Amino acid sequence: MPDLLAASGFPARRLRRLRRTPALRRLVAQTTLAVDDLVAPLFVADGLDAPRPVGSLPGVSQHTVDSLVVEVRRLAALGVPGVILFPLPVTGDKDATGSAALSPDGITRRAIGAVRDAVGDDLVVMADCCLDEFTDHGHCGIVDPVTGDVDNDATVELYADLAVVQASAGAHVIAPSGMMDGQVAAIRAALDSAGHAEAAVLAYAAKYASALYGPFREAADVTIAGGGNRKGYQQDPRNGREALAEVALDVAEGADMVMVKPALTYLDVVADVRALVDVPVAAYHVSGEYAMVKAAAERGWIDGPAVALEQITSVKRAGADFVLTYFAGELAEALHD
Ligand code: PBG
């Protein structure tokens, strides 16, 4: 190989020469990770007296509305530009349609409202628009009693209602994560006709049926009935090309930004999506990706903060404009040092 390079006229030592000092490396770095690239996912549960740590996500808690506001203020002070909120019902307050998500004085409205009151426009408040946290069967929408499948169109109608609740509570960005066909168009139309033309849509456009969501299901207290899964509506990990069709459809339906999820296992998809569209591209470094780093670091097997920085930087290198990550607070602190 070296001989071949020499024969082709490739100058010897050219690559290492630019790696010699930290300043040289900074000068030629192709990718920079900044606090501005981070969005923190946060859980807030109705009916809690105190925050409840999530065992499989060290450093992450189910918040009370009060502790949520404290955490969002802390993140805003660190310069983190966005949070994505996952409201959760009172334990056991779940039903077939996830109705607690939409209740007029429910946790959706109270949590988003409290955060907006606290931070105004200093930070972007995103709301995950889905129902699995609120359904007793744990699916992302209404289950057809005959087929046992999620009823796409009935679910999309509920998403549209939920998006309006979220926007009227003050969410700047609505992030539909249920992978129902037509969800972006329905949400965009509902927002516009309810007077929320300013609310943006971040579509979970290429979302895979991944085993890496395990710790999230503990954090959000979600169990899919009968040991079921989401393979009937989320994407098959073996497929890359259909991600581009999903993304193109969501942009055509009016998505302002698109997301690939999970992040590291799908860096090829992030790069392909980046090449396909001009809208901002996000990637979600999900709960399992975070938990693996934390668990290995706890055992002393890896340097946790260094791995976190390397992983999130690699998501940017692949082409993401910003990254949703449970490391947001920690990385923001580290990037300030
Ligand atoms: C659906 C939703 C999920 C995640 C974000 N939104 C779970 C799922 O699709 O099963 C997972 C995020 C993570 O694992 O960190 N409401």
Q: pLDDT tens digits, residue range 105-130?
A: 999 999 999 999 999 999 999 999 99
Specify the residue with its C-alpha closest to ligand 1, atom 10: 213
pLDDT in tens, 217-231: 999 999 998 888 999
Specify the residue with its C-alpha closest to ligand 1, atom 12: 286
- Tell me if 286 CB under 6 Å of ligand 1: yes
pLDDT in tens, 236-247: 999 999 999 999
Confidence of residue 337 (pLDDT cuts 50, 70, 90): confident
pLDDT in tens, 36-58: 999 999 999 999 999 999 999 99
pLDDT for the residue numbered 14? 75
Sequence-ordered list of residues with C-beta below 8 angstroms from that of 246, at least 6 positions apart, any chain: 205, 206, 235
Q: 17 alpha carbon to ligand 1 midpoint, in Å?
A: 44
Q: 290 alpha carbon to ligand 1 midpoint, in Å?
A: 13
- Tell me if 325 CB under 6 Å of ligand 1: no
What are the extents of the domains in the chain? 33-336
pLDDT at 190 over 80: yes
- Nearest CA among 284, 272, 214 for reference residue 246: 272
Distance CA 162, CA 265 (A): 30
Q: Could you identify the residue written with the tokens 């001009």? A: 278
**Helices 65-77 + 328-336 axis angle, to 10:** 30
Q: 216 alpha carbon to ligand 1 midpoint, in Å?
A: 6
- Tell me if 132 CB under 6 Å of ligand 1: yes
pLDDT in tens, 174-187: 999 999 999 999 99
In ligand 1, which atom is closest to the CA atom of 215?
A: 14
pLDDT for the residue numbered 85? 98
pLDDT for the residue numbered 240? 97
Domain 33-336 has CATH 3.40.50.11750: no
pLDDT for the residue numbered 7? 66
Angle, vertex CA 133, rays to CA 129 and CA 136, nearest 5: 130
Q: Please, what sign has the CA dihedral across residues 249, 251, 253, 256?
A: positive
To test the ligand 1 pocket, which listed residue (140, 179, 213) has its Cβ within 8 A of the most ligand atoms? 213
